[in-house]
Amino acid sequence: MATARLALSYGQAFVAPERRRHRSSMSVCLPDDGQMGTKGACALISDSASRHALAKQAGDLSVRGFLADYYSTPEHWDVKAAATRVLRSLNAWCHGQTRQMQDGSYVSSLSTMVFLGRDAHLFHVGDTLVFRLRGAEFEQLSRDHVTDLGGYRYPARALGMDATIDIDYAQVPLKQGDIFLLTTQGVRGTLMPSDYVGLIRQDASDLDAACERLAEAARARAGERGYGSDPFCFQLVRIDELPDETPDTPSRVYGDLPIPPEFVPGDRVDGLEVEEVLSRTAHSRVYRVRDVHSQRECVLKAPSPELSTRNAYLEHFLLQQWVVERVHSPFVVRVIEPSRPRRYLYYLMRHVDGMTLTEWARRHPQASLGQRLDIAMQLGKAVQALHHRDLLHQQVHPDNVLIDPHGQVVLADFSACHLRDVDGHRRSRQLVQQVGLNEHSAPEYALDDEVGRRSDQYALASTVYWLVTGDLPYAVPTDKLRTHTDLEQLGYRSARGRNPEVGVELDDALRRALDPQRSLRFRRLSEFLYSLRPSRQGRGERTSPRVLKEPANFWQGIAGILLILLVLSWLLR
């Protein structure tokens, strides 16, 4: 007997007196079966608070942006974590756009419903409206966030209104036959609850027609009362069928794939032949494998067999896979889709035919400062690509950097990579401590302080310092710190003292990026990368006045000129 799945129907209607007054947007997304079971279906409605020509796009961008980002979040995130993360990101973007506009704003109300399993998850900000019709009961699920000013109602909380956002969240159990109505604040004062129930129940089998009836009735009622200039949006979603039981959580879904056993060269799995064991750690196994059909070489990474019962690590392992799948950069290793269905839990990455940065530095002791800074710039762009996805790498050091024969830098290890602020900084620090600190780790990891993007900035700067000097910036390795008083022992050792080719600007930039206090480092990574550009090196030497380099010669020259002028004055008397 086939297992029942969640099935939905929906209808929509939009009425606006003038097209140019359109400020609302709505959408329903029913993904394929795979994401329907892990991410669910979405219904959204938004309403921009501005009449500015550009700002009216805020509602539409909110809807499209949420759908694009929500279905790109890691499969093992639950609905609340994924949707909240996406909404906060959208809010930050809208707020940034608002600050750049002279007229109007990118402020919009937004109501989002995610239907997964036997529950609906409601996320709401602003004054859009969500109702549920169950039998003859018509109930408002959303709460109006509005402020009355001079007889007009304005959103008191909405996307883009402030740098931070407080999102209403509710989990609503579903019943077969439930109908949800999503609409905008403009319908206030037009239809009564009995009108909604009667117009929807008149013929609930055709939801588009029901929405049209609601729109026409609202427009007629608004016209009778003399305020028919607002647009009306109506969206109905009906629960046609519910699954037999709540679907497995992503961790259980992925748990259906067993952790692979220990492999040795010559073993085969899913059409892949193991050629070399690249790494064995307490957490993972990394193998170089070859596809026996395409002869393509790639890297297989799998959890360590002894971690089969540690679900927390398995979730982090899946995050690693998500990182390499979603971060698109030539400086970050690329994921490869297997040619056959997987029988075990692992993922494949492109094989980089090259050497680690540690080995490269050992083989190229005579490399110029320009060559080394070019490598540093590429590595910085790799870290930037992760930060653009709100990811912390947390393990930037020479052994995790590969360089191919063409000089291309590839960041290839994500064992401690973590999403910034998803569950606080505590989990980020725990991951690093579990994987192990290294001499390039920022001091805050050893001291169990707050971490963030500037922690990666420190590790990158420490790696660059090592690359151009062959040494570490501090006599005391940061992974040996035990108390905050140990920070006082950290005295920066000038890179110019170890490599005279290092310019003043580069040395000052390294000093700042390597400050033991996280708050004193560069605010943005791009500021540090700007100082690494080879074209900027040596500029400080060329532009420095000669008086600063050779003060004795300068004053001798001045004295000579004065003597000549004195002699000439005597001769001309």
Mean pLDDT of the chain: 84
Higher-pLDDT residue of 306 and 380 is 380
- pLDDT tens-place string over residues 194-217: 999 999 998 878 999 999 999 999
pLDDT confidence band for 24 (50 / 70 / 90): confident
Say whether both 424 and 409 belong to one domain.
yes
Q: Is residue 97 part of a domain?
A: yes
pLDDT above 60 for 516: yes
Write the CA distances from 183 to 26, 29, 96, 188, integer angstroms: 9, 17, 27, 10
Q: What secondary structure does DSSP assign to 256-300, as a single string?
A: TSPPP----TT-EETTEEEEEEEEE-SSEEEEEEEETTT--EEEE
Rounded to whole angstroms, the Cα distance separating 21 from 232 reads 11
**Residue 544 binned pLDDT confidence (cut-offs 50, 70, 90):** very low
Structural domain contains residue 549: no
* pLDDT at position 514 over 70: yes
- Domain-ending residue, one of 320, 350, 380: 350
Across 16-25, 29-38, 314-323, which has the greatest mean pLDDT? 29-38
Instruction: With a cut of 60, say whether residue 281 has pLDDT above it.
Output: yes
Span 133-174, pLDDT tens digits: 998 889 999 988 877 665 566 677 888 888 888 899 999 999
Domain boundary among 312, 329, 350: 350
Regarding whether 218 and 150 lie in a shared domain, the answer is yes
Q: What is the pLDDT of residues 464-489, one digit of tens each?
A: 999 999 999 999 888 888 888 888 88
Q: Count the neighbouring beta carbons within 10 Å of the beta carbon of residue 531.
A: 20
Domain end: 192, 208, 241, which one? 241
Instruction: Return the higher-pLDDT residue of 562 and 357.
Output: 357
572 within a domain of the structure (yes/no): no
pLDDT the model gives residue 5: 81
378: domain CATH number is 1.10.510.10
565 in a domain, yes or no? no
Q: What is the pLDDT of residue 186?
A: 83
**Do both 308 and 216 map to the same domain?**
no
Same-domain pairing of 236 and 278? no
The secondary structure of residue 472, as a DSSP letter, is -
pLDDT of 390-441, one tens digit each?
788 999 999 999 999 999 999 988 888 887 655 545 667 777 877 888 999 9
Could you list the residue range(s) of the whole structural domain that residue 291 is in?
Answer: 254-350
Shared domain for 397 and 514, answered yes or no, is: yes
Say whether both 236 and 273 belong to one domain: no
426 and 481 belong to one structural domain = yes
The verdict on residue 201 lying in a domain is yes
Q: What are phi and psi of 487, to 5 degrees?
A: -60, -30
Q: Could you tell me if 46 and 166 lie in one domain?
A: yes
More confident call, 382 vs 556: 382
Count how many domains the chain has: 3
Under a CB-based contact definition with an 8 Å cutoff, are residues 232 and 240 in contact?
no
CATH number of the structural domain spanning residue 60: 3.60.40.10
